[in-house]
């Protein structure tokens, strides 16, 4: 498995070794020992799957307190722009973000650690995403930062008028509001 370090060292991109032949392909999407050998010690306890249409923007989501989640994200079908925002108040990269395109064609996965808000936009006709979490979902601990926060200024690579946004995601905190009462 190949590791790609991002501008924020805690967000890591993984590219598995893919074995292809005339029948198709095979790769290990997760191997606990390989991850432990490179210092990734999260114990994943929940797998999630989402289907989204082109233009969908989901995020920027996070869970607070003891229910914070690290996520290992991969695309089963399609192509997305994956975004991780550092929301750890004492971090040298606080308020910075990493965006990276992952797809069913490049097989890459992204590890989003605790202390990050996460989101993605769908760049293909549709996308199916699977991700592992190291903590169970807890409704009372969920929170979000606005996908279109002016201070973060994220380019989701989707025209604003074509974005599909949930009502809940339209009510996220501004980054300025989050900075007044950070939870990491």
Catalytic one among 25, 30, 54, 61? Answer: 61
Task: Give the angle 168-141-69 at the CA atoms, nearest 5°.
Answer: 100
Two structure tokens written together for 46: 């929940």
131 is an active site residue: yes
Catalytic one among 118, 131, 147, 178? Answer: 131
Average pLDDT over residues 98-127: 97
pLDDT digits (tens, 9 = 90+) for 14-51: 999 999 999 999 999 999 998 898 888 899 999 999 99
Two structure tokens written together for 81: 């722009």
Residue 89 CB neighbour total at 10 angstroms: 14
pLDDT digits (tens, 9 = 90+) for 37-86: 888 889 999 999 999 999 999 999 999 999 999 999 999 999 999 999 99
61 is an active site residue: yes
- All domains of the chain, ordered by start, with CATH? 2-180 (2.60.120.10)
State the pTM of this model.
0.94
């Amino acid at each position: 498995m190949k590791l790609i370090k991002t501008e924020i060292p805690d967000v890591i991109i993984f590219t598995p070794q893919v074995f292809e032949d005339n029948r198709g392909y095979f790769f290990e999407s997760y191997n606990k020992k390989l991850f432990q050998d490179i210092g990734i010690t999260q114990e994943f306890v929940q797998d999630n799957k989402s289907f989204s249409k082109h233009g969908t923007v989901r995020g920027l989501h996070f869970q607070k307190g003891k229910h914070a989640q690290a996520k290992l994200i991969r695309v089963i079908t399609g192509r997305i722009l994956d975004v991780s925002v550092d929301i750890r108040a004492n971090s040298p990269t606080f308020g910075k973000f990493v965006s990276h395109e992952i797809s069913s064609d490049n097989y890459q996965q992204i590890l989003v650690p605790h202390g990050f808000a996460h989101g993605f936009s769908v760049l293909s006709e549709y996308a199916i995403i699977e991700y592992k979490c190291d903590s169970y979902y807890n409704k009372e601990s969920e929170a979000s930062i606005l996908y279109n926060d002016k201070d973060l200024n994220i380019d989701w690579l989707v025209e604003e008028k074509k974005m599909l946004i949930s009502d809940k995601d339209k009510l996220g905190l501004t980054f300025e509001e989050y900075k007044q009462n950070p939870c990491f």
